[in-house]
């Protein structure tokens, strides 16, 4: 963080971010941070290939893919919790033997993680080779979330990170079809992103919603028709998806069950979380800055989903990375908030370009820094 002079706001001193550095300072920091970030990330990736690993998630998903290829029941195993659309995604890994399939699986997971970081940085206007990206890569490689994902052989988390960051980037750049396709693929992989449909819904983005709903719907129908012993999905998997698994689960439902909280109280708490999230996102529709509006809505909705769903694991938190990087975003011009009846105002560059800055030399609850700090506390 650096102290800079903001001439547009009357010369008041404000706190800058890694995006506000001079070119010379940016190059110097990059020269120091990038080698460190590359070494730490390379060490994690190398260990994920060669060290002893548990492969719990990988084995469960690959075994399901192998059973699908062999024509036997996939959903007889209660640990296989993917829907038929998710089964279609992992089905190709059933053709390969264990080691080659893990090599491809883990490589895709690493590439998806890096793609998610890159798109998250682009979302806030950062340079891919700048010092901020190096800091994010370095910090991400040290997190338990990424380490567990690679150790357990999980592809879903990194894939959802990349798809979520791509969805936000497409939304803020008004590429509505691409946003719908990316959200639809994410929902086909895992239904955790279902609340994100509220983001295009509030702007009446019917084209985005149509793609986001059609892709998982069609994939699930196809998957259900081709899966062997399909009734096991209804008799085994669906009941498992509709109850809280007591172990390795940080959702409100699971935590409350472990501590003996009455079922009615847990249902009420989960409902309150969802209602509050929807109300917050409803209020956010007035925010003029599309990156802040969409990024914060994404953070609120995913956090609510992880709290209220039947299964929420700690490494799901990596999907919140795109929204958390809002703390490093440059200060945007203060434009008039849009009215509920004018959805195009928030994303119109000309609107922001004509809007004057309001001179300020102090922090208020409306200032970007405290607001971004609140985003982090929420997650």
pLDDT at 343: 41
Residues, the chain: 379
Give, in order, the Cα–Cα distances in Å from 270 to each of 114, 260, 303. 33, 16, 12
Structure tokens at 317: 């938190």
Burial tier of 60 (Cβ tally within 10 Å: 0-12, 13-18, 19+): middle
Q: Return d(Cα 325, Cα 37) in angstroms, integer.
A: 17
Query: What's the CA angle centered on 126, arms 124 and 128, to 5 degrees?
Result: 130
Give, in order, the Cα–Cα distances in Å from 62 to each of 68, 258, 264, 290. 10, 30, 37, 40
Q: Tell me 143's DSSP state.
A: S
Give, in order, the Cα–Cα distances in Å from 207 to each of 29, 192, 217, 353. 43, 21, 15, 28
Q: Return d(Cα 211, Cα 104) in angstroms, integer.
A: 28
Quickly count: other Cβ atoms within 10 Å of residue 137's Cβ: 22
Taking Cα atoms as reference points, which of 250, 261, 337 lies closest to residue 292? 337
In angstroms, how far is CA 241 from the centroid of its own chain? 21
Structure tokens at 307: 């709290």
Give one DSSP letter per residue of 80-127, joined into a string.
Answer: ----HHHHHHHGGGGTS-HHHHHHHHHHHHHHHHHHHHHHHHHHTT--
Q: Are 373 and 324 in contact (CB under 8 A)?
A: no
Q: What is the 3-state secondary structure (H, E, C) of 49-76?
A: HHCCCCCHHHHHHHHHHHHHHHCCCCCC
Burial tier of 216 (Cβ tally within 10 Å: 0-12, 13-18, 19+): buried
Alpha-carbon torsion angle 67, 159, 245, 300, nearest 10: -160
Q: Return d(Cα 128, Cα 126) in angstroms, integer.
A: 6
Taking only the tens of pLDDT, the chain with its 379 residues reads 444 444 444 443 344 566 666 788 878 888 889 999 999 999 888 888 887 566 788 888 889 999 999 988 899 888 888 899 999 999 999 888 888 888 899 899 999 999 999 999 999 988 888 888 999 999 999 998 898 888 888 888 999 999 999 999 999 999 999 999 999 999 999 888 999 999 999 999 999 999 999 999 999 999 999 999 888 999 988 888 888 777 778 888 888 888 888 889 989 999 999 999 999 999 998 888 899 999 999 999 999 999 998 888 888 889 999 999 988 876 544 443 443 344 443 333 333 333 334 334 343 434 433 433 343 444 4
pLDDT at 248: 76
Structure tokens at 165: 């960051």
Q: Are 165 and 124 in contact (CB under 8 A)?
A: no
Q: Looking up tokens 């059973």, which residue turns up?
A: 67
Q: Return d(Cα 106, Cα 53) in angstroms, integer.
A: 12
Taking Cα atoms as reference points, which of 59, 85, 84, 57 lies closest to residue 73? 84
Helix (H) or strand (E) holding 73: none
Quickly count: other Cβ atoms within 10 Å of residue 267's Cβ: 14
Name the region of 248 (left: φ>0; alpha: ψ -120 to 50; beta: rest). Answer: left
Q: Return d(Cα 351, Cα 39) in angstroms, integer.
A: 44
Q: Return d(Cα 94, Cα 65) in angstroms, integer.
A: 4
Sign of CA dihedral 189, 180, 306, 269: negative
Taking the alpha carbons at both ends of the chain, their separation in whole angstroms is 22
Q: Return d(Cα 50, Cα 210) in angstroms, integer.
A: 43
């Amino acid at each position: 963080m650096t102290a800079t002079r903001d001439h547009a706001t009357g010369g008041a001193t404000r706190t800058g971010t890694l995006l506000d550095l001079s070119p010379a300072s940016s190059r110097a920091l990059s020269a120091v941070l990038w080698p460190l970030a590359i070494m730490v990330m390379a060490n994690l990736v190398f260990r994920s290939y060669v060290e002893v690993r548990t492969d719990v998630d990988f084995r469960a998903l690959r075994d399901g893919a192998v059973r699908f290829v062999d024509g036997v029941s996939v959903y007889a195993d209660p640990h296989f919790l993917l829907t038929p659309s998710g089964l279609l995604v992992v089905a190709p890994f059933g053709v390969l033997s264990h080691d080659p399939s893990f090599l491809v699986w883990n490589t895709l997971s690493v590439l998806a993680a890096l793609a998610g970081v890159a798109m998250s940085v682009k979302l806030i206007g950062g340079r891919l080779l700048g010092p901020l990206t190096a800091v994010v890569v370095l910090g991400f490689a040290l997190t338990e979330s990424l380490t567990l994902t690679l150790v357990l052989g999980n592809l879903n988390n990194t894939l959802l990170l990349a798809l979520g960051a791509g969805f936000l980037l497409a939304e803020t750049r008004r590429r509505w079809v691409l946003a719908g396709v990316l959200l639809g693929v994410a929902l086909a992989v895992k239904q955790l992103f279902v609340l994100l449909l509220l983001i295009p819904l509030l702007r009446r983005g019917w084209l985005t919603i149509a793609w986001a709903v059609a892709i998982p719907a069609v994939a699930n129908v196809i998957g259900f028709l081709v899966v062997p012993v399909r009734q096991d999905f209804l008799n085994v998997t669906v009941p498992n998806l509709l109850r809280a698994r007591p172990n390795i689960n940080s959702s409100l439902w699971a935590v409350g069950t472990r501590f003996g909280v009455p079922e009615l109280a847990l249902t009420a708490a989960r409902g309150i979380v969802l209602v509050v999230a929807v109300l917050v996102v409803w209020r956010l529709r007035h925010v003029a800055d599309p990156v802040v509006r969409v990024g914060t809505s994404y953070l609120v909705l995913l956090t609510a989903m992880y709290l209220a769903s039947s299964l929420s694991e700690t490494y799901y938190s990596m999907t919140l990375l795109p929204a958390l990087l809002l703390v490093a975003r440059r200060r945007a011009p203060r434009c008039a908030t849009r009215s509920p009846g004018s959805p195009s105002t928030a994303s119109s560059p000309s609107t922001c370009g004509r809007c004057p800055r309001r001179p300020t030399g102090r922090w208020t609850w409306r200032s970007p820094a405290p607001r971004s700090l609140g985003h982090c506390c929420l997650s």
